[in-house]
A and B are shown apart, each in its own frame.
Chain A
Protein backbone atom coordinates (compact mmCIF):
# COMPACT_ATOMS: atom_id res chain seq x y z
CA UNK A 1 0.00 0.00 0.00
CA UNK A 2 1.06 3.56 -0.62
CA UNK A 3 1.34 5.64 2.51
CA UNK A 4 -1.78 7.56 3.54
CA UNK A 5 -2.99 9.63 6.43
CA UNK A 6 -6.01 8.36 8.32
CA UNK A 7 -8.88 10.28 9.85
CA UNK A 8 -12.31 9.46 11.24
CA UNK A 9 -15.26 11.51 10.03
CA UNK A 10 -17.63 12.84 12.69
CA UNK A 11 -20.44 13.75 10.27
CA UNK A 12 -21.43 12.91 6.71
CA UNK A 13 -21.00 16.55 5.67
CA UNK A 14 -17.52 16.56 7.21
CA UNK A 15 -16.69 13.39 5.29
CA UNK A 16 -18.02 14.98 2.09
CA UNK A 17 -15.86 18.07 2.61
CA UNK A 18 -12.77 15.96 3.37
CA UNK A 19 -13.42 13.74 0.35
CA UNK A 20 -13.23 16.76 -1.96
CA UNK A 21 -9.50 17.14 -1.34
CA UNK A 22 -7.22 15.60 -3.97
CA UNK A 23 -6.13 12.07 -3.07
CA UNK A 24 -8.83 11.62 -0.44
CA UNK A 25 -10.95 8.51 -0.35
CA UNK A 26 -13.82 7.37 1.85
CA UNK A 27 -13.47 3.98 3.50
CA UNK A 28 -16.44 2.03 4.91
CA UNK A 29 -16.20 -1.78 4.90
CA UNK A 30 -12.97 -1.57 2.94
CA UNK A 31 -13.28 -5.07 1.49
CA UNK A 32 -12.83 -3.83 -2.08
CA UNK A 33 -10.84 -0.63 -1.48
CA UNK A 34 -8.09 -2.25 0.61
CA UNK A 35 -7.79 -5.08 -1.90
CA UNK A 36 -7.23 -2.46 -4.62
CA UNK A 37 -4.84 -0.44 -2.44
CA UNK A 38 -2.64 -3.47 -1.83
CA UNK A 39 -2.27 -3.80 -5.60
CA UNK A 40 -1.71 -0.06 -6.14
CA UNK A 41 -4.84 0.16 -8.28
CA UNK A 42 -6.14 2.65 -5.73
CA UNK A 43 -3.54 4.95 -4.18
CA UNK A 44 -5.30 7.40 -1.86
CA UNK A 45 -3.10 9.75 0.17
CA UNK A 46 -5.84 10.30 2.75
CA UNK A 47 -8.40 7.79 4.03
CA UNK A 48 -11.57 9.07 5.65
CA UNK A 49 -13.13 6.39 7.83
CA UNK A 50 -16.92 6.84 8.02
CA UNK A 51 -17.64 3.73 10.10
CA UNK A 52 -18.55 5.78 13.20
CA UNK A 53 -21.33 7.70 11.42
CA UNK A 54 -24.90 6.80 12.46
CA UNK A 55 -25.84 5.38 9.06
CA UNK A 56 -26.40 1.78 10.08
CA UNK A 57 -30.20 1.68 10.52
CA UNK A 58 -32.96 0.13 8.43
CA UNK A 59 -36.11 2.22 8.87
CA UNK A 60 -39.69 2.07 7.62
CA UNK A 61 -40.59 4.99 5.36
CA UNK A 62 -43.95 6.77 5.32
CA UNK A 63 -44.77 5.39 1.85
CA UNK A 64 -44.46 1.79 3.05
CA UNK A 65 -40.93 1.23 1.88
CA UNK A 66 -37.58 0.97 3.67
CA UNK A 67 -34.67 3.34 4.09
CA UNK A 68 -31.40 1.43 4.35
CA UNK A 69 -28.48 3.33 5.87
CA UNK A 70 -25.30 3.39 3.79
CA UNK A 71 -23.36 1.58 6.53
CA UNK A 72 -25.82 -1.31 6.98
CA UNK A 73 -23.69 -4.41 6.46
CA UNK A 74 -24.64 -6.71 3.60
CA UNK A 75 -25.29 -9.60 6.01
CA UNK A 76 -27.60 -7.49 8.20
CA UNK A 77 -29.57 -6.24 5.20
CA UNK A 78 -29.95 -9.78 3.84
CA UNK A 79 -31.11 -11.08 7.25
CA UNK A 80 -33.53 -8.25 8.07
CA UNK A 81 -37.00 -9.78 8.54
CA UNK A 82 -38.71 -6.96 6.56
CA UNK A 83 -36.31 -7.36 3.65
CA UNK A 84 -36.81 -11.14 3.65
CA UNK A 85 -40.60 -10.75 3.72
CA UNK A 86 -41.01 -7.90 1.23
CA UNK A 87 -37.82 -7.74 -0.85
CA UNK A 88 -36.82 -11.37 -1.20
CA UNK A 89 -34.98 -10.63 -4.45
CA UNK A 90 -32.68 -8.26 -2.55
CA UNK A 91 -32.03 -10.65 0.30
CA UNK A 92 -31.27 -13.48 -2.12
CA UNK A 93 -29.00 -11.27 -4.26
CA UNK A 94 -27.01 -10.19 -1.21
CA UNK A 95 -26.64 -13.79 -0.06
CA UNK A 96 -25.42 -14.73 -3.54
CA UNK A 97 -22.53 -12.28 -3.26
CA UNK A 98 -19.06 -12.84 -1.79
CA UNK A 99 -18.57 -14.88 1.40
CA UNK A 100 -20.12 -14.58 4.86
CA UNK A 101 -16.98 -12.91 6.21
CA UNK A 102 -17.05 -10.29 3.47
CA UNK A 103 -20.80 -9.70 3.84
CA UNK A 104 -20.26 -9.08 7.55
CA UNK A 105 -17.97 -6.19 6.65
CA UNK A 106 -19.17 -4.87 3.29
CA UNK A 107 -21.68 -2.01 3.42
CA UNK A 108 -24.70 -1.00 1.36
CA UNK A 109 -23.05 2.18 0.05
CA UNK A 110 -19.73 0.45 -0.58
CA UNK A 111 -21.37 -2.40 -2.45
CA UNK A 112 -22.94 0.12 -4.86
CA UNK A 113 -19.54 1.72 -5.44
CA UNK A 114 -17.39 -1.40 -5.74
CA UNK A 115 -15.15 -1.54 -8.78
CA UNK A 116 -15.11 -4.00 -11.65
CA UNK A 117 -13.22 -7.29 -11.29
CA UNK A 118 -11.83 -7.03 -14.85
CA UNK A 119 -8.40 -8.74 -14.70
CA UNK A 120 -6.77 -5.88 -16.58
CA UNK A 121 -8.19 -3.21 -14.28
CA UNK A 122 -6.54 -5.12 -11.42
CA UNK A 123 -3.19 -5.55 -13.19
CA UNK A 124 -1.30 -2.25 -13.06
CA UNK A 125 1.17 -3.46 -15.70
CA UNK A 126 -1.60 -3.63 -18.32
CA UNK A 127 -3.41 -0.82 -20.16
CA UNK A 128 -6.83 0.05 -18.74
CA UNK A 129 -8.84 3.13 -19.60
CA UNK A 130 -10.76 2.87 -16.37
CA UNK A 131 -7.64 2.85 -14.20
CA UNK A 132 -5.44 5.04 -16.41
CA UNK A 133 -7.59 7.03 -18.87
CA UNK A 134 -6.19 6.97 -22.39
CA UNK A 135 -3.96 3.93 -21.85
CA UNK A 136 -6.19 1.56 -23.85
CA UNK A 137 -8.27 -1.53 -23.06
CA UNK A 138 -6.35 -4.79 -22.75
CA UNK A 139 -9.57 -6.80 -22.42
CA UNK A 140 -10.76 -6.08 -25.99
CA UNK A 141 -8.22 -8.48 -27.48
CA UNK A 142 -7.36 -10.26 -24.24
CA UNK A 143 -9.08 -12.80 -22.03
CA UNK A 144 -12.60 -11.45 -21.91
CA UNK A 145 -14.68 -14.36 -20.70
CA UNK A 146 -16.20 -12.38 -17.82
CA UNK A 147 -16.75 -9.19 -19.81
CA UNK A 148 -19.73 -7.20 -21.05
CA UNK A 149 -22.01 -8.03 -23.95
CA UNK A 150 -24.27 -4.99 -23.52
CA UNK A 151 -23.51 -1.28 -23.29
CA UNK A 152 -19.76 -1.69 -23.77
CA UNK A 153 -17.61 0.71 -25.77
CA UNK A 154 -14.28 0.44 -27.55
CA UNK A 155 -12.80 2.05 -24.43
CA UNK A 156 -14.07 -0.43 -21.84
CA UNK A 157 -15.85 -3.79 -21.82
CA UNK A 158 -15.80 -4.38 -18.06
CA UNK A 159 -18.83 -5.47 -16.04
CA UNK A 160 -20.23 -4.24 -12.74
CA UNK A 161 -19.69 -6.97 -10.13
CA UNK A 162 -22.53 -6.29 -7.67
CA UNK A 163 -25.44 -8.66 -7.08
CA UNK A 164 -27.13 -6.31 -4.61
CA UNK A 165 -27.30 -3.47 -7.13
CA UNK A 166 -29.00 -5.73 -9.68
CA UNK A 167 -31.84 -6.42 -7.24
CA UNK A 168 -32.01 -2.74 -6.34
CA UNK A 169 -32.27 -1.89 -10.03
CA UNK A 170 -35.31 -4.17 -10.34
CA UNK A 171 -36.79 -2.61 -7.18
CA UNK A 172 -36.40 0.98 -8.48
CA UNK A 173 -34.27 1.89 -5.46
CA UNK A 174 -33.20 5.46 -4.93
CA UNK A 175 -29.77 6.52 -3.69
CA UNK A 176 -29.75 9.27 -1.08
CA UNK A 177 -26.66 11.48 -0.90
CA UNK A 178 -25.32 14.45 1.03
CA UNK A 179 -22.71 17.04 0.06
CA UNK A 180 -20.39 19.15 2.20
CA UNK A 181 -23.04 21.84 2.61
CA UNK A 182 -25.29 19.20 4.15
CA UNK A 183 -27.67 19.29 1.16
CA UNK A 184 -29.34 15.97 0.45
CA UNK A 185 -30.29 14.59 -2.95
CA UNK A 186 -32.04 11.46 -4.17
CA UNK A 187 -30.79 9.74 -7.33
CA UNK A 188 -32.96 7.02 -8.92
CA UNK A 189 -30.73 3.96 -9.32
CA UNK A 190 -31.58 3.95 -13.05
CA UNK A 191 -29.65 7.23 -13.26
CA UNK A 192 -26.91 6.33 -10.78
CA UNK A 193 -24.58 4.27 -12.99
CA UNK A 194 -23.00 5.43 -16.24
CA UNK A 195 -22.07 3.33 -19.24
CA UNK A 196 -18.37 3.48 -20.16
CA UNK A 197 -18.59 5.50 -23.40
CA UNK A 198 -15.39 7.51 -23.77
CA UNK A 199 -14.93 7.99 -20.01
CA UNK A 200 -14.97 4.58 -18.31
CA UNK A 201 -13.15 6.10 -15.32
CA UNK A 202 -16.38 7.95 -14.39
CA UNK A 203 -18.67 5.22 -13.11
CA UNK A 204 -21.54 7.00 -11.41
CA UNK A 205 -23.37 10.30 -11.48
CA UNK A 206 -22.15 11.13 -7.99
CA UNK A 207 -20.50 14.56 -7.86
CA UNK A 208 -17.05 14.91 -6.27
CA UNK A 209 -17.46 15.01 -2.51
CA UNK A 210 -21.00 13.63 -2.64
CA UNK A 211 -21.50 10.85 -0.05
CA UNK A 212 -24.10 8.09 -0.12
CA UNK A 213 -26.09 8.16 3.12
CA UNK A 214 -28.87 5.66 2.36
CA UNK A 215 -30.71 3.60 -0.21
CA UNK A 216 -34.48 3.98 -0.28
CA UNK A 217 -36.60 1.03 -1.35
CA UNK A 218 -40.09 1.95 -2.58
CA UNK A 219 -42.94 -0.38 -1.54
CA UNK A 220 -42.43 -3.71 -3.30
CA UNK A 221 -44.27 -4.16 -6.61
CA UNK A 222 -46.81 -7.01 -6.82
CA UNK A 223 -45.62 -10.45 -7.84
CA UNK A 224 -43.06 -13.14 -7.16
CA UNK A 225 -39.41 -12.15 -6.69
CA UNK A 226 -36.47 -14.27 -7.83
CA UNK A 227 -32.72 -13.78 -8.05
CA UNK A 228 -30.95 -16.35 -10.20
CA UNK A 229 -27.16 -16.30 -10.41
CA UNK A 230 -25.17 -18.36 -12.91
CA UNK A 231 -21.48 -18.68 -12.11
CA UNK A 232 -18.43 -20.94 -12.39
CA UNK A 233 -18.75 -22.27 -8.82
CA UNK A 234 -21.82 -23.00 -6.73
CA UNK A 235 -20.78 -20.37 -4.19
CA UNK A 236 -18.41 -17.46 -3.69
CA UNK A 237 -17.95 -16.45 -7.34
CA UNK A 238 -18.99 -13.47 -9.42
CA UNK A 239 -21.91 -13.80 -11.81
CA UNK A 240 -21.42 -14.74 -15.42
CA UNK A 241 -25.09 -13.87 -15.80
CA UNK A 242 -27.59 -13.04 -13.08
CA UNK A 243 -31.26 -12.08 -13.25
CA UNK A 244 -33.37 -10.21 -10.73
CA UNK A 245 -36.99 -10.76 -11.73
CA UNK A 246 -40.27 -9.61 -10.25
CA UNK A 247 -43.22 -11.13 -12.10
CA UNK A 248 -46.92 -10.78 -11.38
CA UNK A 249 -48.86 -13.48 -13.19
CA UNK A 250 -52.07 -15.43 -12.85
CA UNK A 251 -53.41 -18.49 -14.63
CA UNK A 252 -50.77 -18.50 -17.34
CA UNK A 253 -50.92 -14.79 -18.05
CA UNK A 254 -48.29 -12.22 -17.03
CA UNK A 255 -49.71 -8.97 -15.71
CA UNK A 256 -46.42 -7.13 -15.18
CA UNK A 257 -42.71 -7.88 -14.96
CA UNK A 258 -39.48 -6.26 -13.96
CA UNK A 259 -36.10 -7.59 -15.11
CA UNK A 260 -32.56 -6.55 -14.24
CA UNK A 261 -29.38 -8.38 -15.19
CA UNK A 262 -25.91 -8.67 -13.69
CA UNK A 263 -22.73 -9.77 -15.44
CA UNK A 264 -23.75 -8.29 -18.78
CA UNK A 265 -22.73 -4.64 -18.63
CA UNK A 266 -20.82 -2.01 -16.70
CA UNK A 267 -24.02 -1.31 -14.82
CA UNK A 268 -26.86 -3.44 -13.49
CA UNK A 269 -28.89 -3.78 -16.69
CA UNK A 270 -32.59 -2.99 -16.52
CA UNK A 271 -34.49 -4.41 -19.51
CA UNK A 272 -37.49 -2.08 -20.00
CA UNK A 273 -38.26 -3.26 -23.54
CA UNK A 274 -38.38 -6.88 -22.40
CA UNK A 275 -40.64 -5.93 -19.51
CA UNK A 276 -43.06 -4.34 -21.99
CA UNK A 277 -43.15 -7.50 -24.10
CA UNK A 278 -44.02 -9.51 -21.01
CA UNK A 279 -46.82 -7.19 -19.88
CA UNK A 280 -50.26 -8.73 -20.53
CA UNK A 281 -48.66 -11.58 -22.47
CA UNK A 282 -49.28 -15.32 -22.17
CA UNK A 283 -46.64 -17.09 -20.07
CA UNK A 284 -45.23 -19.35 -22.76
CA UNK A 285 -41.97 -20.08 -24.58
CA UNK A 286 -42.76 -17.70 -27.44
CA UNK A 287 -43.24 -14.81 -25.01
CA UNK A 288 -40.07 -15.67 -23.09
CA UNK A 289 -38.09 -15.77 -26.33
CA UNK A 290 -39.46 -12.40 -27.39
CA UNK A 291 -38.43 -11.01 -24.02
CA UNK A 292 -34.94 -12.48 -24.44
CA UNK A 293 -34.73 -10.94 -27.94
CA UNK A 294 -35.50 -7.58 -26.40
CA UNK A 295 -32.89 -7.99 -23.63
CA UNK A 296 -30.23 -9.03 -26.12
CA UNK A 297 -30.92 -6.40 -28.75
CA UNK A 298 -27.52 -4.96 -29.67
CA UNK A 299 -25.66 -7.60 -27.65
CA UNK A 300 -22.12 -8.23 -28.84
CA UNK A 301 -19.55 -10.79 -27.73
CA UNK A 302 -15.80 -10.22 -27.79
CA UNK A 303 -14.72 -13.81 -28.29
CA UNK A 304 -14.35 -15.53 -24.94
CA UNK A 305 -17.64 -14.11 -23.68
CA UNK A 306 -19.78 -14.99 -26.74
CA UNK A 307 -21.39 -17.71 -24.62
CA UNK A 308 -23.08 -15.09 -22.46
CA UNK A 309 -25.58 -14.36 -25.24
CA UNK A 310 -27.20 -17.82 -25.31
CA UNK A 311 -26.63 -18.19 -21.56
CA UNK A 312 -28.64 -15.02 -20.90
CA UNK A 313 -31.47 -16.27 -23.10
CA UNK A 314 -31.59 -19.66 -21.39
CA UNK A 315 -31.33 -18.22 -17.89
CA UNK A 316 -34.17 -15.79 -18.53
CA UNK A 317 -36.28 -18.52 -20.08
CA UNK A 318 -35.73 -20.77 -17.08
CA UNK A 319 -36.48 -18.03 -14.55
CA UNK A 320 -39.68 -16.91 -16.28
CA UNK A 321 -40.92 -20.47 -16.70
CA UNK A 322 -40.33 -21.16 -13.01
CA UNK A 323 -42.01 -17.94 -11.90
CA UNK A 324 -45.14 -18.38 -14.01
CA UNK A 325 -45.63 -22.12 -13.48
CA UNK A 326 -49.26 -22.70 -12.57
Chain B
Protein backbone atom coordinates (compact mmCIF):
# COMPACT_ATOMS: atom_id res chain seq x y z
CA UNK B 1 0.00 0.00 0.00
CA UNK B 2 3.03 2.23 0.37
CA UNK B 3 3.09 2.64 -3.40
CA UNK B 4 -0.44 4.04 -3.58
CA UNK B 5 0.24 6.67 -0.91
CA UNK B 6 3.43 7.67 -2.66
CA UNK B 7 1.55 8.14 -5.90
CA UNK B 8 -0.86 10.58 -4.24
CA UNK B 9 2.08 12.49 -2.89
CA UNK B 10 3.69 12.70 -6.29
CA UNK B 11 0.50 14.14 -7.81
CA UNK B 12 1.07 17.22 -5.69
CA UNK B 13 4.49 17.71 -7.25
CA UNK B 14 4.02 19.14 -10.75
CA UNK B 15 6.99 19.20 -13.06
CA UNK B 16 7.39 22.94 -13.47
CA UNK B 17 10.44 22.76 -15.72
CA UNK B 18 8.64 20.85 -18.49
CA UNK B 19 11.73 18.83 -19.35
CA UNK B 20 11.88 15.18 -20.07
CA UNK B 21 13.24 13.48 -17.03
CA UNK B 22 12.65 10.42 -14.99
CA UNK B 23 10.39 11.82 -12.30
CA UNK B 24 9.55 10.26 -9.01
CA UNK B 25 6.09 9.67 -10.41
CA UNK B 26 7.26 7.59 -13.41
CA UNK B 27 9.38 5.53 -11.10
CA UNK B 28 6.44 5.07 -8.76
CA UNK B 29 4.10 4.21 -11.64
CA UNK B 30 6.48 1.52 -12.74
CA UNK B 31 6.41 0.21 -9.20
CA UNK B 32 2.61 0.25 -9.19
CA UNK B 33 2.50 -1.69 -12.44
CA UNK B 34 4.78 -4.29 -10.94
CA UNK B 35 2.48 -4.47 -7.92
CA UNK B 36 -0.57 -4.92 -10.17
CA UNK B 37 1.15 -7.68 -12.11
CA UNK B 38 1.65 -9.68 -8.97
CA UNK B 39 -2.01 -9.40 -8.05
CA UNK B 40 -3.58 -10.26 -11.41
CA UNK B 41 -6.63 -12.47 -11.12
CA UNK B 42 -5.67 -16.09 -11.62
CA UNK B 43 -7.86 -16.45 -14.70
CA UNK B 44 -5.84 -13.72 -16.39
CA UNK B 45 -2.70 -15.51 -15.32
CA UNK B 46 -3.90 -18.75 -16.85
CA UNK B 47 -4.69 -16.88 -20.05
CA UNK B 48 -1.12 -15.65 -20.23
CA UNK B 49 0.37 -12.31 -21.18
CA UNK B 50 -2.02 -11.82 -24.10
CA UNK B 51 -5.05 -12.06 -21.81
CA UNK B 52 -8.37 -12.65 -23.53
CA UNK B 53 -11.55 -10.81 -22.77
CA UNK B 54 -13.74 -13.89 -23.01
CA UNK B 55 -15.01 -15.37 -19.76
CA UNK B 56 -13.11 -18.16 -18.06
CA UNK B 57 -14.29 -21.65 -18.92
CA UNK B 58 -15.80 -23.80 -16.22
CA UNK B 59 -13.20 -24.79 -13.64
CA UNK B 60 -11.97 -28.36 -13.43
CA UNK B 61 -11.13 -30.31 -10.27
CA UNK B 62 -7.70 -31.88 -9.98
CA UNK B 63 -6.03 -33.96 -7.29
CA UNK B 64 -2.27 -33.73 -7.07
CA UNK B 65 0.18 -35.36 -4.70
CA UNK B 66 2.83 -32.69 -4.27
CA UNK B 67 6.00 -33.42 -2.31
CA UNK B 68 4.13 -36.17 -0.53
CA UNK B 69 1.07 -34.11 0.40
CA UNK B 70 -2.34 -34.41 -1.28
CA UNK B 71 -3.85 -31.25 -2.76
CA UNK B 72 -7.32 -30.71 -4.21
CA UNK B 73 -7.50 -27.80 -6.60
CA UNK B 74 -10.22 -26.30 -8.75
CA UNK B 75 -8.56 -24.72 -11.75
CA UNK B 76 -9.21 -22.85 -14.94
CA UNK B 77 -8.19 -25.61 -17.41
CA UNK B 78 -5.65 -23.22 -18.93
CA UNK B 79 -3.57 -23.33 -15.75
CA UNK B 80 -0.19 -24.87 -16.44
CA UNK B 81 1.30 -27.16 -13.83
CA UNK B 82 3.90 -24.45 -13.18
CA UNK B 83 1.25 -21.80 -12.49
CA UNK B 84 -0.68 -24.22 -10.28
CA UNK B 85 2.45 -24.75 -8.18
CA UNK B 86 3.50 -21.11 -8.02
CA UNK B 87 0.23 -19.20 -7.96
CA UNK B 88 -2.19 -21.61 -6.29
CA UNK B 89 0.08 -23.48 -3.88
CA UNK B 90 2.74 -20.81 -3.25
CA UNK B 91 5.48 -23.27 -4.22
CA UNK B 92 7.60 -20.65 -5.95
CA UNK B 93 10.82 -22.67 -6.02
CA UNK B 94 10.03 -23.84 -9.57
CA UNK B 95 10.83 -20.85 -11.75
CA UNK B 96 9.18 -19.39 -14.83
CA UNK B 97 11.96 -18.55 -17.25
CA UNK B 98 10.85 -18.70 -20.88
CA UNK B 99 7.40 -20.31 -20.29
CA UNK B 100 7.92 -22.18 -23.60
CA UNK B 101 9.91 -25.27 -22.65
CA UNK B 102 13.20 -23.87 -23.83
CA UNK B 103 15.08 -22.99 -20.64
CA UNK B 104 14.31 -25.78 -18.13
CA UNK B 105 13.92 -23.46 -15.10
CA UNK B 106 10.47 -24.97 -14.44
CA UNK B 107 11.67 -28.60 -14.39
CA UNK B 108 9.85 -30.80 -11.86
CA UNK B 109 9.58 -34.56 -11.41
CA UNK B 110 6.30 -36.32 -12.17
CA UNK B 111 6.25 -39.86 -10.80
CA UNK B 112 10.05 -39.52 -10.77
CA UNK B 113 10.46 -38.31 -14.38
CA UNK B 114 11.64 -34.82 -15.24
CA UNK B 115 9.39 -32.62 -17.37
CA UNK B 116 8.91 -28.92 -18.14
CA UNK B 117 6.02 -27.87 -15.88
CA UNK B 118 5.33 -24.81 -18.07
CA UNK B 119 4.37 -26.96 -21.07
CA UNK B 120 1.74 -29.10 -19.45
CA UNK B 121 -1.67 -28.40 -17.97
CA UNK B 122 -2.25 -29.16 -14.31
CA UNK B 123 -5.52 -30.94 -15.15
CA UNK B 124 -3.58 -33.43 -17.27
CA UNK B 125 -1.83 -34.69 -14.12
CA UNK B 126 -4.83 -35.58 -12.00
CA UNK B 127 -3.83 -38.32 -9.56
CA UNK B 128 -0.10 -38.03 -10.19
CA UNK B 129 2.81 -37.28 -7.86
CA UNK B 130 4.82 -34.12 -8.35
CA UNK B 131 8.19 -33.47 -6.73
CA UNK B 132 9.48 -29.90 -6.74
CA UNK B 133 12.65 -28.40 -5.34
CA UNK B 134 10.76 -27.83 -2.06
CA UNK B 135 10.28 -31.57 -1.68
CA UNK B 136 13.89 -32.73 -1.99
CA UNK B 137 15.41 -32.01 1.42
CA UNK B 138 14.62 -34.22 4.41
CA UNK B 139 13.92 -31.74 7.21
CA UNK B 140 17.21 -29.83 7.64
CA UNK B 141 19.22 -32.24 5.49
CA UNK B 142 19.72 -31.13 1.91
CA UNK B 143 19.31 -33.68 -0.86
CA UNK B 144 22.81 -34.81 -1.94
CA UNK B 145 22.32 -33.01 -5.26
CA UNK B 146 21.43 -29.76 -3.48
CA UNK B 147 24.46 -30.13 -1.19
CA UNK B 148 26.73 -30.79 -4.18
CA UNK B 149 25.46 -27.66 -5.97
CA UNK B 150 26.31 -25.63 -2.84
CA UNK B 151 29.71 -27.29 -2.47
CA UNK B 152 30.68 -26.76 -6.12
CA UNK B 153 29.16 -23.29 -6.58
CA UNK B 154 26.83 -24.68 -9.23
CA UNK B 155 25.06 -21.34 -9.65
CA UNK B 156 25.51 -17.62 -9.62
CA UNK B 157 22.17 -15.81 -9.75
CA UNK B 158 20.32 -19.00 -8.81
CA UNK B 159 17.30 -18.56 -11.07
CA UNK B 160 17.88 -21.76 -13.04
CA UNK B 161 19.08 -23.74 -10.03
CA UNK B 162 15.91 -25.44 -8.85
CA UNK B 163 15.28 -26.59 -12.43
CA UNK B 164 18.89 -27.73 -12.77
CA UNK B 165 18.72 -29.74 -9.54
CA UNK B 166 15.37 -31.40 -10.33
CA UNK B 167 16.59 -32.14 -13.84
CA UNK B 168 19.87 -33.59 -12.57
CA UNK B 169 18.02 -35.91 -10.17
CA UNK B 170 15.75 -37.07 -12.99
CA UNK B 171 18.78 -37.50 -15.22
CA UNK B 172 20.61 -39.73 -12.73
CA UNK B 173 17.52 -41.92 -12.47
CA UNK B 174 17.35 -42.19 -16.28
CA UNK B 175 21.02 -43.06 -16.42
CA UNK B 176 20.60 -45.75 -13.76
CA UNK B 177 17.73 -47.23 -15.77
CA UNK B 178 20.16 -47.53 -18.69
CA UNK B 179 18.61 -44.83 -20.91
CA UNK B 180 21.00 -43.85 -23.70
CA UNK B 181 21.69 -40.33 -24.93
CA UNK B 182 22.58 -38.82 -28.30
CA UNK B 183 26.31 -39.03 -27.45
CA UNK B 184 26.20 -42.65 -26.29
CA UNK B 185 28.57 -44.46 -28.65
CA UNK B 186 26.96 -47.89 -28.69
CA UNK B 187 23.20 -47.88 -28.33
CA UNK B 188 23.10 -51.65 -28.03
CA UNK B 189 24.91 -51.53 -24.66
CA UNK B 190 22.56 -51.35 -21.66
CA UNK B 191 24.10 -48.44 -19.76
CA UNK B 192 26.42 -45.62 -20.63
CA UNK B 193 29.13 -44.42 -18.30
CA UNK B 194 28.21 -40.94 -17.08
CA UNK B 195 31.14 -39.00 -18.51
CA UNK B 196 31.18 -35.20 -18.59
CA UNK B 197 30.15 -35.33 -22.25
CA UNK B 198 27.17 -37.52 -21.29
CA UNK B 199 26.23 -35.19 -18.41
CA UNK B 200 26.36 -32.14 -20.67
CA UNK B 201 24.25 -33.74 -23.39
CA UNK B 202 21.70 -35.09 -20.92
CA UNK B 203 21.42 -31.68 -19.21
CA UNK B 204 21.10 -29.65 -22.43
CA UNK B 205 17.48 -28.81 -21.63
CA UNK B 206 18.59 -26.62 -18.72
CA UNK B 207 20.08 -23.29 -19.65
CA UNK B 208 22.24 -21.28 -17.21
CA UNK B 209 22.74 -17.69 -18.36
CA UNK B 210 25.41 -17.18 -15.71
CA UNK B 211 27.20 -20.07 -17.45
CA UNK B 212 27.95 -21.97 -14.25
CA UNK B 213 28.11 -25.09 -16.40
CA UNK B 214 31.53 -26.41 -15.30
CA UNK B 215 30.43 -26.27 -11.66
CA UNK B 216 27.02 -27.75 -12.43
CA UNK B 217 28.74 -30.66 -14.18
CA UNK B 218 31.10 -31.06 -11.21
CA UNK B 219 28.18 -31.17 -8.76
CA UNK B 220 26.33 -33.76 -10.84
CA UNK B 221 29.48 -35.84 -11.38
CA UNK B 222 30.09 -35.98 -7.63
CA UNK B 223 26.49 -36.91 -6.83
CA UNK B 224 26.51 -39.61 -9.51
CA UNK B 225 29.64 -41.20 -8.02
CA UNK B 226 28.36 -41.07 -4.46
CA UNK B 227 24.92 -42.44 -5.23
CA UNK B 228 25.84 -45.26 -7.63
Contacts and interface: CB of A to CB of B under 8 A. Distances in A.
B101 A31 contact: yes
Contact of B205 (A5, A49, A85, A236): A236
Name the prevailing secondary structure of the B interface residues: loop
Interface string B161-204: 00000010011001001111110100110100000000011111
Nearest to B108: A101
A290 interface: no
A99 interface: yes
Interface string A91-123: 110011011111011000000000000000000
Contact of B123 (A6, A78, A92, A99): A6
A325 interface: no
Given A6-B60, A104-B114, A34 B119 contact: yes
Interface string B32-51: 00000000000000111010
Interface in A4-34: 4-6, 27, 30-31, 34
Interface string A67-109: 0000000010011010011001001100110111110110000
Contacts of B203: 100
Contacts of A5: 57-58, 77
A38 B107 contact: no
B204 A99 contact: yes
A61 interface: no
B4 interface: no
A2 B54 CA distance: 8
B131 interface: no
Nearest to A34: B119
Contacts of B58: 5
Nearest to A89: B187
Interface string A43-68: 00001010100000000000000000
B146 interface: no
Nearest to B201: A235
Interface in B100-136: 100-101, 104, 107, 113-116, 119-121, 123-124
B205 A99 contact: yes
B99 A38 contact: yes
Interface residues of A, number: 38
A55 to B, nearest CB: 15
B1 to A, nearest CB: 32
A4 B101 contact: no
Interface residues of B, number: 50
B114 A101 contact: yes
12 contacts: A2-B54, A3-B76, A5-B58, A6-B121, A27-B124, A30-B124, A35-B119, A78-B179, A95-B181, A95-B182, A99-B101, A105-B119
Given A2-B54, A91-B180, A101 B167 contact: yes
Question: Which of A30, A49, A99 gathers the greatest number of chain B CB atoms within 10 Å?
Answer: A99
B14 interface: no
Interface in A223-251: 234-236
A84 B76 CA distance: 41
Contacts of B113: 104
A79 B116 contact: no
A31 B182 contact: no
Given A2-B54, A84-B188, A236-B205, A100 B174 contact: yes
B124 A51 contact: yes
A222 to B, nearest CB: 17
Given A30-B119, A35-B100, A91-B187, A75 B124 contact: no
B187 A100 contact: no
B55 interface: yes
Nearest to B75: A6
B171 A95 contact: no
Contacts of B200: 235
A91 B121 CA distance: 28
B81 to A, nearest CB: 10
A36 to B, nearest CB: 10
B179 A75 contact: yes
B94 interface: no
B188 A34 contact: no
B108 to A, nearest CB: 9
A104 B177 CA distance: 14
B114 A100 contact: yes
A40 interface: yes
Question: Which of B174, B187, B188 gathers the greatest number of chain A CB atoms within 10 Å?
Answer: B187
A35 B118 CA distance: 9
A1 B177 contact: no
B52 interface: yes
Q: Which 10 A-B pairs have the closest CB atoms?
A: A99-B205, A235-B204, A6-B77, A95-B182, A236-B204, A84-B187, A79-B179, A1-B78, A3-B57, A101-B205
Given A30-B121, A79-B180, A47 B101 contact: no
A31 B177 contact: no
A1 B48 contact: yes
A104 to B, nearest CB: 5
A81 B188 CA distance: 7
Question: Which of B121, B170, B200 gathers the greatest number of chain A CB atoms within 10 Å?
Answer: B121
